[in-house]
Amino acid sequence: MKSRSELFHIFQSFFHEIQTQFGVPIKILRSDNGREYLSNSFKQFMASHGILHQTSYAYTPQQNMVAERKNRHLIETARTLSIHGEVPHSFWMMLFLLLVILLIACLLRF
């Protein structure tokens, strides 16, 4: 993502990929109070698909700890896979996306 204005289109693609690949809807989106999540087009898209948007309170790092732990876990796991699998740096983004898809698939099974 080069700019925050691309978030809406990226989220739409992600939404359709989750529905196509796994056949389940996204029920809740949790985010900070970033303006990119609060645009009218984003709100209309979420309302039309029945997605509940939950935002964190401003200046509450306690709420961000879970997200930060999950992000760190993703990055550390991707880094470990790339080192042990001897994956070239040019495939870092593909490896990261594959890891996210695998973790989502594991979460949906339980």
Shared-domain flag, residues 48 and 71: no
Kindly indicate the confidence band of residue 33, based on its pLDDT and cuts at 50, 70 and 90.
confident
In this predicted model, what pLDDT tens digit does every residue of 53-99 receive, in sequence order?
Answer: 988 777 776 666 777 788 788 888 888 888 888 888 888 888 888 88
Shared-domain flag, residues 45 and 80: no
Residue 47 pLDDT: 94
Query: What is the DSSP code (8-state) at residue 57?
Result: P
Shared-domain flag, residues 49 and 67: no
Q: How many CA atoms lie within 13 A of 5 on its CB side?
A: 0
User: What is the span of the domain harbouring residue 51?
Assistant: 1-55
Shared-domain flag, residues 8 and 48: yes
- Which residues are paired to 54 by β-bridges? 30
Sign of CA dihedral 55, 56, 58, 64: negative
